[in-house]
């Protein structure tokens, strides 16, 4: 029996962003330069395939700094960490490398600047996400209030409506965030915002690419991890654009083929922490179930590159 035809629309851009590529390169270069083991506080990026690949090379992932022994390098994840983490590392005289995405660091600096000028800060983001924990940890406790959705934006109480600023997590839904900001600006006309929006270029570009294909698809697969904020947002964006069968899968083995029965057009994209090899794996799996024609849908061409820390380019030795 011949397989039914299936047109696969590959979203562009998709997968790794510059911040993720930099974070992974930091771990790999540290392993080359200092040898295994190299410890990493929290998953370097939210993708099990990436984490397990680095573990196989000698990286050891831990949740807290207290799990890191003396005399080995430790790396902080791309999501950023509260100030207390590098401070503790310095107290213990640990050699550490900071893989925080530069676009997350930009938000950290914004928070510090607003706090120095005495503004109360509203952070638009998701409670418990490592990036939010890291950003809130840049300033004294209580200086930042978290706004998770439009309902919170309508109800949040502030000390001084004329002395406010907002910042955002970098991996949010662009459309949801616009709605939340609109509510805050209506309630607090004097609120200060960033000169350039905090949502990162890669998050924005991947969401736009999904919008481009979602209405043409019977179903859409987002390759990414359940704890990846930007991957979860891609599912939401696809559904908002009319593709209700938008499904998050970590890799090909997770695909529920019954849920894809009868489809003729399938969109595929990947979150910013998902490697292209997993997209290729999903396309290969599709070929086993369908007669596949792949159409690459053109989008923004990304050319952003972030430099590695000077410790890895200047061959700094561990004391």
Q: What are the residue numbers of the active site?
A: 131
Structure tokens that stand for 122 in this block: 């509203």
- The CA distance from 53 to 275, in Å, is 11
Spatial distance between the Cα atoms of 113 and 167, rounded to a whole number of angstroms: 11
Match 């029965």 to its residue by tokens. Answer: 261
Beta-sheet pairing, 5-10 with 144-147: unpaired
**What's the number of CA atoms in the CB half-sphere (13 Å) around residue 314?**
6
Task: Give the integer Cα–Cα distance in Å for 30 and 45.
Answer: 16
Task: Write the CA distances from 180 to 14, 64, 173, 199, 233, integer angstroms.
Answer: 26, 33, 11, 13, 15
- Round to whole Å and give the CA distance between 312 and 43: 20
């Amino acid at each position: 029996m011949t397989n039914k035809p299936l047109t696969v629309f590959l979203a562009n851009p998709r997968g790794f962003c510059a911040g993720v590529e930099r974070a992974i390169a930091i771990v790999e270069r540290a392993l080359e330069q200092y040898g295994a083991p190299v410890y990493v506080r929290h998953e370097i990026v939210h993708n099990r395939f990436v984490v397990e690949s680095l573990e196989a090379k000698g990286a050891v992932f831990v949740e807290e700094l207290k799990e890191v022994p003396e005399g080995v390098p430790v790396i902080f994840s791309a999501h950023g960490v509260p100030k207390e983490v590098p401070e503790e590392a310095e107290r213990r005289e640990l050699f550490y490398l900071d893989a925080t995405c530069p676009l997350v660091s930009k938000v950290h600096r914004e928070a510090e600047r607003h706090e120095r000028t005495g503004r109360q800060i509203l952070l638009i983001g998701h409670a418990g996400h490592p990036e939010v924990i890291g950003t809130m940890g840049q300033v004294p406790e209580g200086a930042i209030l978290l706004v998770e959705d439009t309902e919170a934006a309508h109800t949040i109480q502030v000390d001084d409506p004329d002395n406010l600023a907002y910042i955002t997590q970098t991996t949010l839904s662009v459309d949801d965030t616009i709605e939340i900001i609109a509510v805050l600006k209506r309630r607090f006309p004097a609120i200060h915002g960033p000169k350039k929006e905090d949502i990162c270029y890669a998050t924005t570009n991947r969401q736009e690419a999904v919008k481009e294909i979602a209405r043409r698809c019977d179903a859409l697969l987002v390759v990414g991890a359940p704890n990846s904020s930007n991957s979860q947002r891609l599912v939401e964006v696809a559904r908002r654009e009319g593709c209700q069968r938008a499904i998050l899968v970590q890799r090909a083995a997770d695909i529920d083929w019954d849920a894809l029965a009868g489809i003729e057009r399938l969109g595929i994209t990947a979150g910013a922490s998902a490697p292209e090899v997993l997209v290729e794996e999903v396309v290969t799996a599709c070929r086993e179930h369908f007669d596949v024609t792949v159409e690459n849908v053109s989008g923004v061409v990304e050319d952003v590159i972030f430099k590695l820390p000077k410790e890895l380019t200047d061959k700094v030795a561990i004391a």
